């Protein structure tokens, strides 16, 4: 588990793309130095270059600044919070920033999420259909563990998942995924579970499943 804690003393920074086609408020949201800090629920504080601090509630699309509160404009503070969430510098409401336990990229996870923390690309869930990259066989995921492959012992062989000969080349710290062969899941009363390193399994997309049925 590697949650990324928001720091209370984050430095103000500028986040500037090509601004030539942006309206004034949007351009200032990118270029001005601001510090954004998450608070409770859907609220954030935004401290500006002039050292003014405003309360932004993205759930209500509201900000305590005069530009929003009095003039009703979509102010630079609201825009900046959205920019920082999109850039994954801060988490959206109900989420935490975390490092994916499989590939190391920054992702968002539910605030009460149990480990492992996985990004959308790596995330598998029980019931997902996956394909074994080594054999091409299709399997059904039955469980996601938070145990690395080099720490999971296969009882039948008394060796770890990482040491198993067909898993050579996959990261030893890959999380272990439990799965059963699709044919067994359909026909067997108690299908046998097998342990795989996460990166050995590729999620089968819906279109691929439809194509396979039509072949």
What mean pLDDT value characterizes the chain? Answer: 87
Give me the pLDDT at residue 180, please: 95
Q: Is residue 96 part of a domain?
A: no
The percent of residues in the chain predicted with pLDDT above 70, rounded, is 87
Q: Is residue 9 part of a domain?
A: no
Q: In the predicted model, is pLDDT for residue 112 greater than 90?
A: no
How many domains does one find in the chain? 2
| Residue-level length of the chain | 215
Q: Is residue 40 part of a domain?
A: yes
Beta bridge mates, 178: 143, 195
Give me the pLDDT at residue 58, please: 95
205 and 138 fall within a common domain: yes
Give me the pLDDT at residue 214, please: 46
Could you count the other beta carbons within 10 Å of the beta carbon of residue 8? 6
Q: Is residue 38 part of a domain?
A: yes
77 and 136 fall within a common domain: no
Helix crossing, 76-86 with 24-31: angle to 10°? 50
Tokens of 57: 């509630």
Average pLDDT over residues 127-144: 94
Band (122; pLDDT cuts 50, 70, 90): confident
Q: Is residue 143 part of a domain?
A: yes
Domain that holds residue 46: 20-87
Average pLDDT over residues 35-63: 95
132 and 206 fall within a common domain: yes
| Alpha-helix residue ranges (DSSP H) falling in the chain | 24-31, 66-69, 76-86, 182-187, 206-214
Tell me the pTM: 0.65
Give me the pLDDT at residue 207, please: 42
Please say which residue of 35, 67, 87 terminates a domain.
Answer: 87
Give me the pLDDT at residue 129, please: 95
Beta bridge mates, 124: none
208 and 132 fall within a common domain: yes
Please say which residue of 36, 63, 87 terminates a domain.
Answer: 87
Q: Is residue 192 part of a domain?
A: yes
- Selected residue with higher pLDDT from 72 and 116: 72
Work out the angle at residue 45's Cα, subtended by the Cα atoms of residues 39 and 49, and round it to the nearest 5 degrees.
Answer: 155
Average pLDDT over residues 69-78: 95
Please say which residue of 87, 109, 138 terminates a domain.
Answer: 87
Q: Is residue 48 part of a domain?
A: yes
141 and 201 fall within a common domain: yes
Average pLDDT over residues 64-91: 95
Give per-residue pLDDT as tens, 143-194. 999 899 999 999 989 999 999 999 999 999 999 999 999 988 877 678 899 9
Q: Is residue 162 part of a domain?
A: yes
- Selected residue with higher pLDDT from 209 and 121: 121
């Amino acid at each position: 588990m590697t949650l990324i804690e928001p720091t209370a003393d984050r430095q103000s920074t500028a986040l500037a793309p090509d601004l030539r086609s942006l309206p004034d408020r949007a351009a200032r949201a990118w270029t001005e130095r601001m510090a954004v800090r998450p608070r409770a629920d859907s609220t954030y504080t935004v401290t500006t270059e002039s050292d003014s601090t405003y309360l932004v509630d993205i759930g209500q699309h509201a900000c305590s600044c005069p530009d929003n509160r009095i003039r009703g404009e979509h102010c630079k503070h609201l825009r900046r919070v959205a920019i920082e969430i999109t850039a994954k510098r801060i988490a959206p409401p109900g989420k935490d920033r975390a490092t994916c336990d499989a590939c190391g990229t920054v992702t968002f996870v539910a605030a009460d999420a149990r480990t492992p923390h996985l990004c959308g690309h790596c995330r598998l869930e029980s019931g997902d259909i996956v394909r074994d990259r080594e054999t091409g066989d299709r399997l059904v995921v039955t469980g996601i563990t938070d145990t690395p492959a080099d720490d999971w012992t296969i009882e039948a062989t008394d060796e770890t998942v990482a040491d198993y000969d067909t898993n050579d080349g996959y990261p030893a710290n890959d999380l272990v995924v439990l799965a059963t062969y699709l044919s067994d899941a359909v026909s067997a009363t108690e299908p046998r579970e097998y342990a795989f390193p996460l990166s050995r399994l590729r999620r089968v997309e819906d279109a691929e499943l439809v194509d396979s049925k039509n072949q």
